[in-house]
Amino acid sequence: MINFYLLTLFPELLKSFSATSIIKKGIDKKLFSIIIKDIRENAINKYGQVDDEPYGGGSGMVLRPEPIYDTFKSLKLEKKKLKTIYFSPKGRKIDNNYIINLTNFKNIVLICGHYEGIDQRIIDLLVDEEVSLGDFILTGGEIPAMALIDAVIRHIKGVIKPGSLKEESFTNNLLEYKQYTRPEVFRNMKVPEVLLSGNHKKISEYRLKDSVKETLLKRPDLLEKEIFDNKIIKLINEIREDL
């Protein structure tokens, strides 16, 4: 079982996340756990101070090292199969392979920064890796933490149906095919006939081609990351000729 430990200044935000939808069901089934630790419980004084002005000047406040360090040490975790992550715009961008690899760890500690970030000495002492959702700035690490957990737990056996993972976007570096449901006609727009045919072989072929086309049109960079089989290479070339 994977245990997620979230070090945060905003526990209420994460408690709400933990009590919702698939997350709650997975916790109830004991497939994983989410332990939320309030950094402010280890504030440096009775006023709840956890931040201070940056040395050298500058705008904003920086989270002091003592509250984060003491909160981390209170977890009493062994280093074996432990991963400590800090969310930062300096970090590597998270991708699907990174998410899948995290399922190999027993304990994952997620440090959620705020303000101008955290004291560098915490990164040097405790953090295994800095990661980022993308090239933009958020006010804290709570949203990336929720996104990471949501992505990881989908790959834990028993959380969702195995078949749902096989055809999702980024599986085999392809985007998912377009999806349709009832009604068959909406505002004069019809569902593709092949999806109504009941011919599973043709539906499978259509979906694979549509998946390749979606990737080629929207994320061509993904096609450069994978060595595809001859069938997909042929589809890529055919679609390129039609565009």
- Tokens at residue 62, please? 């920086």
Q: How far, CA to CA in Å, does 209 sit from each of 178, 196, 212, 222?
A: 11, 17, 5, 15
Region 110-132 average pLDDT:
97
The string of DSSP letters for 62-92 reads EE-HHHHHHHHHTT---STTEEEEEEEEEEE
Residue 84 amino acid letter: T
Average pLDDT over all residues of the chain: 95
Under the banding of pLDDT at 50, 70 and 90, the label for residue 226 is confident
- 8 A C-beta contact, residue 6 and residue 145: yes
Cα separation, 173 vs 223, in Å, equals 7
Query: What pLDDT does 181 receive?
Result: 96
Region 75-94 average pLDDT:
96
Q: Rg for the chain (alpha carbons), in Å?
A: 22
pTM flag (> 0.95) = no
CATH fold match for the domains 2-161 and 167-242: no
Q: Where are the domains of the chain?
A: 2-161, 167-242
Query: What pLDDT does 32 receive?
Result: 98
Query: What pLDDT does 37 receive?
Result: 98
Digit-coded pLDDT (tens) for 41-67: 999 999 999 999 999 999 999 999 999
On the 0-12 / 13-18 / 19+ scale of CB atoms within 10 A, 229 is exposed
- 8 A C-beta contact, residue 239 and residue 213: yes
Digit-coded pLDDT (tens) for 162-220: 767 766 778 788 999 999 999 999 999 999 999 999 999 999 999 999 999 999 999 99
The CATH number given to 167-242 is 1.10.1270.20
Residue at token pair 């694979």: 208
Can you identify the CATH homologous superfamily of domain 2-161? SPOUT methyltransferase, trefoil knot domain (3.40.1280.10)
Region 24-33 average pLDDT:
98
- Tokens at residue 137, please? 């700035």
